[in-house]
Amino acid sequence: METFGCAACHGDDAVAVVAYYQSGGLEIDERLSDDSHFGVTIRHCTRCQQRFLYVFTEFVDWQGGEDDQYTEVVPISAAEAAEALQRASDLQFLGSLGIGRRRLSTAWPRAAKEKAIGWCTGAFAIFPGH
């Protein structure tokens, strides 16, 4: 598997990497989709400049406030970032960027007491939130 990023943005400890992201470690370069329930952005690490495709999805059920929320954060090359900008609406292509590399995945279904955080590999499905 290819090596991407630094210890802060792509290190082995997934929980520490999420904390780094949440503390401003990734800055937004481009917005491919900017909906309150579905956001796709290209970001970069403030330490090493590694680019990432960052996908946020929320599924609103309009009952009780707490809704299912998911993120996928995939390291990408400069060429892939440029292609993602051109193919922003091609969700299958964007999901295919996970092939052959590790991505950070978080899941916080409404029924869960805490967020699940971990490393995954392979292509992933992207569904716009609602």
Q: Per the domain annotation, does 130 fall within a domain?
A: no
Residue range(s) defining the domain that contains residue 68: 7-121
CA distances for 87 relative to 18, 34, 80, 84, angstroms: 27, 15, 10, 5
First CA to last CA across the chain, in angstroms?
34
Q: Per the domain annotation, does 1 fall within a domain?
A: no
Q: Per the domain annotation, does 76 fall within a domain?
A: yes
CA distances for 31 relative to 20, 43, 108, angstroms: 20, 9, 23
Q: Per the domain annotation, does 34 fall within a domain?
A: yes
Q: Per the domain annotation, does 128 fall within a domain?
A: no
The C-alpha atoms of residue 76 and residue 100 are separated, in whole angstroms, by: 11
Rounded mean pLDDT, 6-23 = 96
State both tokens at 17. Answer: 């990497």
Q: What percent of the chain has pLDDT over 90?
A: 63
Q: What is the pLDDT of residue 125?
A: 82
Q: What is the pLDDT of residue 110?
A: 67
Query: Model confidence over 70-112: pLDDT tens digits?
Result: 899 999 999 999 999 999 989 999 999 989 899 999 988 666 6
Q: Per the domain annotation, does 127 fall within a domain?
A: no
Q: 45: alpha, beta or left, given left = phi > 0 and alpha = psi -120 to 50?
A: beta
Q: What is the pLDDT of residue 111?
A: 67
Q: Per the domain annotation, does 15 fall within a domain?
A: yes
Q: What is the pLDDT of residue 106?
A: 92
pLDDT band at 127; cut points 50, 70, 90: confident
Q: What is the pLDDT of residue 59?
A: 81
Closest CA to 32 of 95, 120, 123: 95
Instruction: Give the number of residues written for the chain.
Output: 130
Q: What is the overall mean pLDDT for the chain?
A: 89
Q: What is the pLDDT of residue 130?
A: 56
Rounded mean pLDDT, 34-40 = 82
Q: Per the domain annotation, does 129 fall within a domain?
A: no
Number of domains in the chain: 1
